[in-house]
Amino acid sequence: MAKRVSHWNDGCPVARALDVIGDWWSLLIIRDAFDGVRRFGEFQNSLGIAKGMLATRLRDLTERGILKTAPASDGTAYREYVLTKKGSGLFLVIVALRQWGEEHLYTANEPRSSMIDRETRAPVPRLELHGKNGRRLTWRDTEVLKVVRK
Amino acid sequence: MAKRVSHWNDGCPVARALDVIGDWWSLLIIRDAFDGVRRFGEFQNSLGIAKGMLATRLRDLTERGILKTAPASDGTAYREYVLTKKGSGLFLVIVALRQWGEEHLYTANEPRSSMIDRETRAPVPRLELHGKNGRRLTWRDTEVLKVVRK
DNA sequence: CAATCTGGTCTTAAAATAGAACTAGAATTC
DNA sequence: GAATTCTAGTTCTATTTTAAGACCAGATTG
């Protein structure tokens, strides 16, 4: 009676995406992966997640093609979890969340991590959406065309 | 023993953002709000969410300043839930999720809703992140500077 | 003013989560 | 090379969250 509902077949890419990475932990694991975390224990330390949860999340994300396992880069017999191409496609989701969080959830002098351009060492500017003609688009400039819902 | 852990004080804006909108339903509610859904019953129909869940989610999102209530626009005595400025700041999160979903979770001919530029009626192009110097940035071009974790 | 619609609350059963205890194989130390 | 510790899990249980339906009060419609 209480199985979580799936949105996979809603015909909406947002819903389908959330069906895959919309739980409480997945995006945090993926964020860590972008930051270079690779080993089970590293994820656990970084996130403070229960081992059981982490194990099932890593398995699910791997099954879903977002992470893949690789032999440990330090020569030991352990394995590592790294982002696939599909997984690294979530970069802009993380960036958008980060920028929204910075802008709306922090007071001016509260300490927080920040994302910089590796080359210039400057903070990464705000993401922007542009139309084909180069015009900047806000949510009022867009519209979603629905598809028949099955 | 099983209360969901909070990431509010991790010093990471991504974590803090997910603490606020990272549950199973919030982003879907917010997506609907962008698409013009305003009334309790509309959200319920659109999402297939249990009334109890919807009631608490709407209350939480309102308390957190993402939605606000307004008198119904059709003249009745009911109320509506509309995005605040803070809430509409999540637009690019939704766009990023949508674009990732389209690109990685659909086969070529599977039907899905799509986002268009209201003015040109053309599909919205891919989001891109650019550095201060205009260069396009991928995740390999960026780095997150950590802050001491309290 | 009777019926129905809207927007909830309350209750219950199932599922997800957190946390701890346990385990097996790998690596390290003695 | 035996003992110890580390790593990466699995299993177990208590608690919380979720889903779904019954119930309800006030607003609206016929």
The SS3 assignment for B47 reads helix
Look at residue B3 in the predicted model and tell me its pLDDT.
86
Our CA-based measurement puts residue A109 at a distance from the nearest CA of chain B, in whole angstroms, of 12
Q: Would the pLDDT of B28 be above 80?
A: yes
Instruction: Identify which of A20, A133, A147 has the shortest CB distance to residue B112.
Output: A147
Output the pLDDT for position B1.
60
Q: Which amino acid is at B61?
A: L
* Facing B141 at nearest CB: one of A14, A86, A117: A117
Q: Do A132 and B138 touch (CB under 8 A)?
A: no
What angle separates helix B40-47 from helix B51-63, to the nearest 10 degrees?
120
Position B150 scores a pLDDT of 35
Is the model's pLDDT at A148 over the cut of 60? no
DSSP B73: T
Cross-chain residue pair B115–A48, CB shorter than 8 Å: no
Segment holding B83, helix H or strand E = strand B79-83
pLDDT in tens, A106-132: 999 899 999 999 999 999 999 999 999
User: B8-141 architecture in CATH?
Assistant: Orthogonal Bundle (1.10)
| Residue among B114, B118, B17, B9 at smallest CA distance from A93 | B17
Instruction: Name the nt closest to A72 by C-alpha to C1'.
Output: D7
Amino acid at B34: F
Find the Å distance, CA of residue B139 to C1' of nucleotide D23: 52
Determine the 3-state secondary structure of B90 from DSSP: coil
**Strands in A4-88 per DSSP E:** 67-71, 79-83
Mean pLDDT in residue range A129-136: 97
Provide mean pLDDT across the span B27-52: 97
What is the predicted pLDDT for the residue at A149?
43
- A contacts of B137 (beta carbons < 8 Å): 117, 124
Residue whose token pair is 């999540």? B90
Q: What residues in B contact A88, CB-CB < 8 Å? A: 139
* Partner-chain contact B100 A117, CB within 8 Å: no
Residue in chain B nearest A14 by alpha carbon: B98
Token representation of residue B54: 């919807």
pLDDT at A90 over 70: yes
CA dist B35 and A93 (Å) reads 19
Is residue B149 predicted with pLDDT exceeding 70? no
Kind of pairing, strands A114-117 and A142-145? Answer: unpaired
Smallest Cα distance from A77 to chain B, Å: 27
Where exactly are the structural domains of chain A? 8-141
pLDDT in tens, A23-53: 999 999 999 999 999 999 999 999 999 999 9
pLDDT surpasses 80 at A150: no
Determine the length of chain B. 150
Q: Are A127 and A95 in contact (CB under 8 A)?
A: yes
The residue whose two tokens read 């352990």 is A78
Q: Cβ distance A98 to B14 under 8 Å?
A: yes
Mean residue pLDDT across chain A = 95
Nearest chain B Cα to A124, which residue?
Answer: B131
